[in-house]
């Protein structure tokens, strides 16, 4: 996917002035935050579970090669194939080759952020293969021709009225006067549209929430059951997953599953948790004839052993963006690439470079709410700060900011001079602002006074007053 992260500011400007988007974003609070809070409060061992989840992933990442090779052995033993892909291009070609061999004309797809990452849909279309998204949210944005704006609720930026319009425009064979108001109306209509597509599809592509080394299974969680249909009804099941999705055992997956749905949607479990272990065996009643796992690296192995390794613990629950005030203000598209919100602010520069995505780790107040809800205890603000440090050290920070910091640091390391300057500033600004108590505009402070007043100082610095009253002690 082509990134527009460089124009984050312009993207954000557009988003802030888009009244429809702002209305859609208003649902995050009740839709996600409240539900998560309730279900987390109901589980006394939630904090201990977070520790376990973090430890499982840390252990796995420390022995990633071992667990991935073990996973591959098991997949092969089950009759499947693992394809190791370093780059998005390799992953796309691998999938295309499978589709070509199966003479596929349509493929059904379960929700997959890694498929977004490699730009799979556009690539398949360019090769005359029609991808059909089966997750309701993905289906909506596919007919709208938009990328997802959220990692678990891809169409969160769309209002019901817009969906109704899109469905009427797209499903022209249906009665134009039909009711399209409630979420159920949309689900029913999308399901009816998709039913035949499942049977027609030659290949079903899904993502994976976990890869289990012990058994060679891949796991997906959904609330619509569309993933199951995709992988069971297609004759060939292709799983696309990034390599950090592996966990050692079924038990480990069970532990993290307890964190995942609670953190994501505020459910105890998602409605469907589906384990796929190889293709159909002779005695099985159903299942695909072929089972492929396309394992994507795309820069992740380069994060191992760096300040950013902890990011690879991420289980894509979206709690961080659901609780992020910046995400709530601008929505997911503003971030300009596949992964938005706090996790995207760390992952995006890691995967596509800090030159491209430098804004993202800067566009944070470091309020820390993301880290406080992250089930895997990923220190997101700390890693954003690491990116700021890299940027600064490479001289990429804006010259105004660098100049300002240099002056400030010069003063702040010379207390006597600093005291003199702040004492003066307090007096001057205090005198100027005495009558009104605040400034509506101030030279060099347009960033502040453009949107809010600058309260005037009281008029004397604390240190000056203290010296007078207490003789400086």
The binding site for other proteins (CB under 8 A) comprises 9, 12-13, 16, 325-326, 329-330, 362-369, 371-372, 385, 387-393, 397, 401, 405-406, 408-409, 411-413, 415, 418-419, 422, 425-426, 434-438, 440, 445, 447-463, 465-466, 470, 472-473
C-alpha to C-alpha distance for 112 and 298, rounded to whole angstroms:
15
- List contacts with ligand SF4 (CB under 6 A): 263, 314-320, 343, 374-376, 378
State which residue, 272 or 418, has the beta carbon closest to other proteins.
418
- Which of the listed partners (other proteins, ligand SF4, none) does 437 bind, with a CB threshold of 5 to 8 Å by partner kind? other proteins
First to last CA, the chain: 62
The tally of CA atoms less than 13 A away on the side-chain side of residue 172 is: 2
Q: With respect to ligand SF4, which residue has the nearer C-beta, 140 or 376?
A: 376
- Please state whether beta strands 272-276 and 130-133 pair in parallel, antiparallel, or not at all (unpaired): unpaired
Find how far residue 38's CA is from the centre of its chain: 23
What is the rounded distance in angstroms from the CA atom of residue 176 to the CA atom of residue 324? 39
Residue 27 interacts with which of ligand SF4, other proteins, none, CB < 5 to 8 Å by class: none
Q: Quick one: 167 or 335, whose CB is closer to other proteins?
A: 335
- β pairing state of 106-109 and 203-206: parallel
Of ligand SF4, other proteins, none, which one does residue 319 interact with (CB within 5 to 8 Å by kind)?
ligand SF4
With respect to ligand SF4, which residue has the nearer C-beta, 118 or 317?
317
CB of 377 to other proteins, least distance (A): 13
Reduce the DSSP state of residue 371 to 3 states and report it. Answer: helix
Element (H, E) at 438: strand 438-439
CB of 68 to ligand SF4, least distance (A): 20
Instruction: Name which of 174 and 397 has its Cβ closer to other proteins.
Output: 397
Decide: 318 and 150 in contact? Cβ < 8 Å. yes
How many CB atoms are located within 10 Å of the residue 389 CB? 12
Q: Which does 240 bind (CB under 5 to 8 A by kind): other proteins, ligand SF4, none?
A: none
Q: Report the nearest approach of other proteins to the CB of residue 366 (Å).
A: 6
What minimum distance in Å lies between the beta carbon of 240 and ligand SF4? Answer: 18
Partner whose binding site includes residue 299, from ligand SF4, other proteins, none (CB under 5 to 8 Å by kind): none
Angle at CA 379, nearest 5°, toward 371 and 59? 115
Instruction: Write down the least CB distance from residue 41 to ligand SF4, Å.
Output: 18
Strand pairing class (217-222; 210-212): antiparallel
3-state secondary structure of 238: strand
364 interface partner picked from ligand SF4, other proteins, none, CB below 5 to 8 A per type = other proteins
Q: Which does 138 bind (CB under 5 to 8 A by kind): other proteins, ligand SF4, none?
A: none
Q: What are phi and psi of 293, to 5 degrees?
A: -115, 120
Quick one: which H or E segment has residue 203?
strand 203-206
- Are residues 204 and 288 in contact, defined by beta-carbon separation less than 8 angstroms? yes
User: Rounded to the nearest whole angstrom, what is the least distance from the CB of residue 332 to ligand SF4 in the complex?
Assistant: 12
């Amino acid at each position: 996917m082509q990134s527009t992260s460089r124009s984050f500011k312009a993207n954000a400007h557009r988003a802030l002035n888009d009244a429809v988007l702002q209305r859609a974003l208003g649902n995050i609070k009740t839709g996600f935050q409240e539900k998560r809070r309730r279900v987390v409060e109901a589980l006394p061992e939630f904090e201990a579970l977070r520790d376990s989840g973090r430890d499982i992933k840390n252990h796995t990442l420390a022995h990633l090669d071992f667990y991935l090779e073990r996973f591959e052995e098991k997949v092969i033993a089950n009759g499947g194939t693992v394809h190791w892909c370093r780059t998005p291009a390799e992953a796309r070609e691998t999938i295309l080759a499978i589709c070509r061999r199966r003479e596929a004309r349509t493929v059904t797809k379960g929700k997959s952020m890694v498929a977004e990452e490699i730009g799979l849909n556009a690539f398949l279309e360019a090769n005359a293969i029609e991808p059909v998204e089966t997750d309701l949210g993905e289906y909506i944005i596919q007919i709208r021709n938009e990328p997802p704006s959220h990692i678990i609720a891809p169409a969160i930026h769309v209002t019901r009225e817009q969906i109704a319009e899109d469905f009427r425009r797209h499903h022209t064979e249906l009665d134009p006067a039909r009711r399209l108001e409630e979420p159920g109306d949309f689900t029913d209509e999308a399901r009816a549209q998709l039913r035949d597509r499942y049977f027609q599809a030659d290949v079903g592509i899904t993502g994976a929430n976990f890869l289990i080394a012990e058994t060679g299974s891949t796991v997906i969680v959904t609330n619509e059951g569309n993933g199951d249909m995709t992988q069971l009804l297609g004759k060939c099941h292709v799983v696309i997953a990034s390599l950090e999705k592996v966990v050692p055992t079924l038990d480990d997956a069970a532990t993290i599953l307890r964190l995942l749905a609670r953190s994501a949607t505020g459910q105890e479990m998602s409605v469907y948790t589906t384990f796929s272990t190889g293709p159909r065996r002779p005695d099985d009643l159903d299942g695909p004839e072929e089972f492929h796992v396309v394992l994507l690296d795309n820069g992740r192995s380069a994060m191992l052993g760096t300040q950013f390794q902890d990011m690879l613990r991420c289980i894509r629950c979206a709690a961080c963006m659901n609780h992020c005030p910046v995400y709530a203000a601008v929505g997911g598209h503003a971030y300009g690439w596949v992964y938005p919100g706090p996790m995207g602010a760390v992952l995006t520069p890691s995967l596509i470079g800090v030159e491209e995505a430098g804004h993202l780790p800067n566009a944070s107040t470091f309020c820390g709410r993301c880290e406080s809800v992250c089930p895997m205890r990923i220190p997101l603000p700390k890693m954003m700060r690491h990116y700021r440090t890299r940027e600064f050290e490479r001289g990429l920070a804006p010259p105004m900011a660098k100049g300002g910091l240099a002056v400030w640091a010069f003063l702040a390391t010379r207390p006597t001079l600093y005291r003199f300057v702040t004492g003066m500033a307090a007096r001057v600004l205090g005198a100027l602002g005495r009558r009104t108590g605040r400034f509506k505009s101030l030279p060099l402070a347009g960033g502040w006074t453009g949107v809010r007043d600058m309260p005037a100082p009281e008029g004397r610095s604390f240190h000056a007053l203290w010296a007078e009253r207490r003789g400086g002690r």
